[in-house]
């Protein structure tokens, strides 16, 4: 024989009750079916009782709703021959009305009366279902489950209860339907089993008859790896041990009430959690050992909100016996439940987590208990922190797996989540910790993903700048999204985007195909402060800020972004080439926070120039010399200049074909190249400032004054001199290259003549080339060559940095 329990939602409508009937009739053995009240009915009955107790007489409206609810379901379920069940339900409704009228007259609502009233919901629903299932018989749980008279949460007398249940059901064949939640005392009065009582009722029956299984049908598929309302990727746990189920239930998983587990655990009876609305689902099996052979160290994550943390601290506690006993005795007298305990090994502090609503009573009780010690300053004034949540990871295999706690708190810390308190038992079955309510969502997502409870890694991207580079990046992201998800299990979500006019944010991810329309329709005007505030307020895990602008102001907010534990990926050279103190602070902040500050595209666009340099330095190599052609614009100019293409014409061509900035003097000045060699020198381990880089201009200073139009009017003046020098170079078999050079702590950039033997000679178009001479690569320097300019390759470099953030 098995025991089957159906919750309030499972019997909340005629359609669901039809499912209940199908499920019960599919069983191939006898069964005791335990039924809750119709969903929401218990609340209606309690509300009616409260109205009656204050003498308003308004309980009739609530009572009418309860009546209509039951009548409507009976009408939908029974085409005919419903008189019998109607009579039974009517009788119970009249009993309810009589009791409520009495409460109104005396103006008092005792726990005993409440138990009598609220149990009527289960009695009515069980009568309906017993009549609806062919061949089923109704049994009254109050006749078999014997309790004391602690009304509201009665204690079971298992010796008598087991005897009564065995006597009634040992030879029973067929289907018995019985109300959950209710019981009876020795005087024949109705009692109730408290919160989760219907689950507990089913477990009591199962343990007494040594059932083959306890099936609990509810409105969820079983225990989930996390709360699906917070984590969309949460999935059903197929198998749990009794201990794991108990821990998850204690820390907020509301699938099953914790006391339910104990009676069946003692008799080694498996519990199967199933969804009435999805009967084909596998559900969750709770048994002595995992049945599916999956050996994940973490089975699930659970959480409780509305927590207050009380800390008792003082040097007068050290070495003094009885402090803990006095603390917990004081709380027990006030019936305050302690959910979590964290104590320092020095014995000078104890922190306890309780329900927030009990904090004031707890403070008074503790102050009264330790009044003398507080007056003598042996114990500090009690500290209470509120608006907190407890998070717990649960899994029996944690005890066999090293590094769980290290990985856990490293992941949490890297995402900027502050842990207020920690607790772990010697059994290593769970690790619990306390965080602020505002960090709960992020905590759950981070931990769920970190321990492979989520199949995919998510990266939340906040993009500033959707010009040529930014728009190319989004195009590449859209093109690669499906492949990354399928092959790398990486989901890159665009969660925020801004240009100079508008910004738009969406936690679940912006459709890249329609991001421009979303921005145009957005009512949020773009501002740096507004973007930063929205990004930090969203408090999303695995966040990365991407800068595809050239703005000094945007670069100026990197420090705040990093301090918020958000990684930075930038194509903007301003920050990395700013004052060394700022550069070092940004790098150090990222390192301290365990996040990323990446700027690969600052030098050579998508070429792996900085990443390769970092690998050389990190592996112990020493950079002796760097020689590089780092300006695609200048390389284009010096590859294009000829007898037919004068210097002035070549400069205009570079601008018109998009190689140079709108004002080509930005490139001609050599400042951009100077910034790049400065960045490479710094990444090599040298402390240099921008004014330490010597720039040898090949265009006189006078041409950098005035407007762009004035520049193009005057620049032909240099054509003759350049053509003369060019011819001379051509005769010598040489070419011009604008070369950046770093050696022995000194950096410079300027025009250099190279012959055919030099690697720079054959550098075509706008390509870049970097040569690293190191202690290891001394005789034959390392060369990195390729496209060093262009929106597409720069966007690709930013994309590559994003992948690095995801794999941190």
Neighbours of 805 (CB within 10 A): 21
Rounded distance between C-alpha atoms, residue 519 and residue 497, angstroms: 8
H or E element, residue 751: strand 746-755
- In degrees and rounded to multiples of 5, residue 463 shows phi and psi of -105, 125
Mean pLDDT to the nearest integer, 126-138: 95
Long-range contacts of 62-70 (CB under 8 A, 24+ apart): 63/93, 63/96, 63/97, 63/100, 66/41, 66/93, 66/96, 66/121, 67/93, 69/38, 69/41, 69/44, 70/38, 70/124, 70/125, 70/128
* 3-class DSSP state of 551: coil
The token duo for 641 is 């200049």
How confident is the model at residue 293, as a pLDDT?
Answer: 45
Residue 54 has phi, psi (to 5 degrees) of -100, 10
Q: How confident is residue 454, by pLDDT bands cut at 50, 70 and 90?
A: low
Phi, then psi, of 507 in degrees rounded to 5: -60, -35
CB count within 10 Å of CB 68 equals: 10
The whole-angstrom distance between residue 336's C-alpha and the CA centroid of its chain comes to 31
Contacts of 492 (CB under 8 A, 6+ apart): 458, 459, 461, 477, 481, 484, 802, 806
Could you identify the residue written with the tokens 């930075």?
A: 568
Q: How far apart are CA 236 and CA 224, in angstroms?
A: 4
- CA atoms 200, 204, 207, 211: torsion sign: negative
Binned at pLDDT 50, 70 and 90, residue 321 comes out as confident
- Does the annotation mark 676 as catalytic? yes
Please state, in angstroms and rounded to a whole number, the distance separating the CA atoms of residues 745 and 743: 5
Lowest-pLDDT choice from 60-69, 399-408, 760-769: 399-408
Is 427's pLDDT higher than 90?
no
Residue 254 has pLDDT above 90, yes or no: no
Strand 782-787 vs strand 767-774: parallel, antiparallel, or unpaired? antiparallel
Number of residues assigned to the chain: 808
pLDDT surpassing 80 at residue 69: yes
Q: Considering only CA atoms, which of 634, 651, 659 is closest in space to residue 790?
A: 659
Give 26's pLDDT tier (boundaries 50, 70, 90). very high
For residues 490 and 469, what is the distance between their CA atoms, to the nearest angstrom?
22
Per-residue pLDDT, averaged over 573-595, amounts to 95
Paired tokens of 227: 């709360």
Instruction: List the single range of 82-96, 108-122, 221-235, 751-765 with lowest mean pLDDT.
Output: 221-235
Q: How confident is the model at residue 295 (pLDDT cuts 50, 70, 90)?
A: low
Q: Does 364 score more than 90 pLDDT?
A: yes
Alpha carbon 182 to chain centroid, angstroms: 40
Q: Which two tokens stand for residue 722?
A: 């350049």
| 615 CB-near residues (< 8 Å, 6+ apart) | none
Evaluate whether 606 touches 800 at the Cβ level (below 8 Å).
yes
What 8-state DSSP symbol labels residue 488? I
**pLDDT of res. 732:** 94
3-state secondary structure of 544: strand
Q: What is the pLDDT of residue 81?
A: 66
pLDDT tens across 175-233, in order? 999 999 999 999 999 999 987 889 999 999 999 999 999 999 998 889 988 888 888 77
pTM for the structure as a whole: 0.72
What token pair was written down for 372? Answer: 């003398």
Instruction: Please state the rounded mean pLDDT for residues 39-49.
Output: 90
Distance separating alpha carbons of residues 769 and 420, to the nearest angstrom: 51
Which of 274, 596, 646, 676 does the annotation list as catalytic? 676
What is the per-residue pLDDT for 145? Answer: 97
Distance between CA atoms of residues 85 and 97, nearest Å? 18
pLDDT at 115: 94
What residues contact residue 400 under an 8 Å CB cut-off, 6+ apart? 297
Question: Looking at residues 286-291, what average pLDDT do you find?
Answer: 73
Per mean pLDDT, which range of 367-376, 547-556, 628-637, 656-665 is the poorest?
A: 656-665
Confidence of residue 395 (pLDDT cuts 50, 70, 90): confident
Q: Is the pLDDT of residue 291 over 60?
A: no
How far apart are alpha carbons 651 and 634 in whole angstroms?
A: 9
Determine the average pLDDT of the residues in 107-124: 93
pLDDT band for position 452 (cuts 50, 70, 90): low
Cα-based distances in Å from 510 to 533, 537, 694: 19, 18, 46
Cα gap 360→365, rounded to integer Å: 9
pLDDT at 318: 86
Residue in 184, 57, 205 with CA at minimum distance from that of residue 115 = 184
């Amino acid at each position: 024989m098995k025991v089957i329990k159906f919750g309030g939602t499972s019997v909340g409508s005629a359609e669901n009750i039809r499912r209940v009937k199908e499920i019960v009739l599919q069983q191939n053995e006898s069964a005791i079916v335990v039924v809750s009240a119709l969903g929401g009915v218990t609340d209606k009955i309690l509300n009616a009782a409260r109205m009656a107790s204050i003498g308003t007489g308004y309980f009739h409206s609530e009572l009418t709703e309860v009546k209509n609810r039951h009548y409507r379901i009976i009408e939908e379920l029974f085409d005919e021959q419903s008189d019998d069940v109607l009579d039974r339900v009517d009788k119970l409704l009249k009993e309810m009305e009589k009791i409520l009228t009495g409460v109104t007259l005396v103006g008092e609502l005792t726990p005993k009366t409440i138990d009598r009233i609220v149990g009527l919901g289960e009695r009515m629903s069980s009568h309906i279902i017993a009549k609806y299932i062919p061949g089923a018989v109704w049994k009254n749980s109050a006749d078999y489950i014997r309790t004391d008279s602690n009304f509201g949460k009665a204690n079971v007398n298992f010796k008598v209860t087991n005897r009564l249940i065995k006597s009634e059901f040992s030879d029973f064949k067929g289907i018995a339907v019985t109300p959950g939640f209710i019981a009876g005392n020795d005087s024949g009065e109705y009692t109730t089993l408290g919160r989760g009582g219907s689950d507990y009722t089913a477990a009591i029956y199962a343990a007494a008859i040594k059932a083959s299984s306890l099936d609990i049908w509810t409105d969820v598929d079983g225990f989930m790896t996390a709360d699906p309302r917070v984590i969309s990727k949460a999935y059903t746990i197929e198998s749990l041990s009794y201990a794991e189920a108990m821990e998850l239930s204690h820390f907020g998983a509301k699938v099953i009430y914790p006391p339910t587990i104990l009676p069946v655990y003692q008799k080694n009876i498996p519990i199967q959690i199933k969804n009435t609305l999805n009967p084909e689902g596998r559900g969750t099996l709770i048994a002595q050992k995992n049945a599916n052979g999956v050996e994940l160290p973490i089975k699930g994550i659970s959480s409780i909100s509305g927590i207050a943390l009380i800390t008792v601290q003082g040097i007068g506690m050290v070495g003094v016996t009885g402090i803990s006993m006095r603390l917990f005795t004081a709380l027990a007298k006030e019936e305050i439940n302690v959910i979590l305990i964290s104590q320092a090994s020095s014995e000078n502090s104890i922190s306890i987590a309780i329900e927030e609503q009990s904090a004031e009573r707890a403070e008074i009780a503790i102050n009264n208990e330790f009044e003398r010690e507080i007056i003598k300053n042996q114990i500090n004034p009690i500290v209470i922190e509120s608006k907190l949540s407890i998070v717990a990871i649960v899994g029996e295999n944690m005890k066999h797996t090293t590094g769980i706690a290290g990985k856990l708190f490293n992941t949490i810390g890297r995402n900027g989540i502050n842990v207020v308190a920690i607790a772990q038992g010697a059994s290593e079955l769970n690790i619990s910790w306390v965080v602020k309510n505002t960090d709960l969502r992020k905590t759950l997502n981070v931990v769920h993903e970190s321990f492979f409870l989520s199949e995919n890694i998510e990266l939340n991207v906040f993009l500033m700048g959707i010009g040529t580079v930014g728009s190319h990046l989004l195009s590449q992201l859209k093109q690669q999204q499906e492949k990354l998800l399928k092959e790398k299990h990486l989901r890159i979500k665009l969660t925020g985007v801004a240009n100079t006019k508008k910004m738009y944010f969406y936690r679940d991810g912006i459709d890249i195909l329609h991001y421009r329309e979303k921005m145009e329709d957005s009512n949020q005007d773009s501002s740096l402060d507004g973007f930063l505030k929205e990004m930090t307020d969203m408090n999303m895990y695995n966040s990365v800020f991407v800068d595809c602008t050239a703005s000094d102001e945007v670069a100026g907010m990197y420090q705040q972004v990093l301090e918020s534990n958000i990684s930075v990926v930038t194509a903007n050279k301003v920050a990395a080439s700013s004052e060394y103190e700022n550069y070092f602070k940004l790098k150090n902040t990222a390192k301290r926070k365990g996040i990323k500050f990446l700027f690969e595209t600052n030098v050579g666009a998508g070429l792996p120039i900085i990443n390769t340099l970092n690998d050389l330095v990190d592996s112990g190599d020493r950079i002796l010399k760097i020689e590089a052609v780092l300006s695609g614009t200048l390389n284009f100019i010096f590859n294009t200049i000829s007898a037919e293409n004068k210097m002035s014409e070549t400069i205009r061509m570079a601008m018109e074909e998009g190689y140079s900035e709108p004002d080509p003097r930005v490139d001609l000045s050599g400042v951009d190249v100077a910034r790049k060699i400065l960045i490479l020198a710094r990444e090599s381990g040298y402390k240099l400032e921008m004014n330490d880089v010597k720039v040898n201009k090949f265009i006189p200073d006078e041409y950098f004054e005035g407007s762009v139009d004035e520049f193009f009017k005057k620049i032909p003046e240099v054509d003759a001199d350049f053509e003369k020098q060019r011819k001379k170079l051509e005769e010598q078999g040489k070419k011009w290259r604008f070369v950046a050079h770093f050696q022995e702590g000194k950096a410079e950039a300027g025009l250099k003549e190279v012959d055919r033997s030099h690697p720079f000679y054959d550098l075509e178009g706008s390509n870049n080339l970097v040569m690293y001479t190191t202690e290891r690569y001394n005789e034959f320097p390392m060369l990195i060559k390729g496209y060093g300019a262009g929106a597409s390759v720069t966007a690709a470099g930013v994309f590559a940095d994003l992948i690095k953030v995801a794999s941190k």
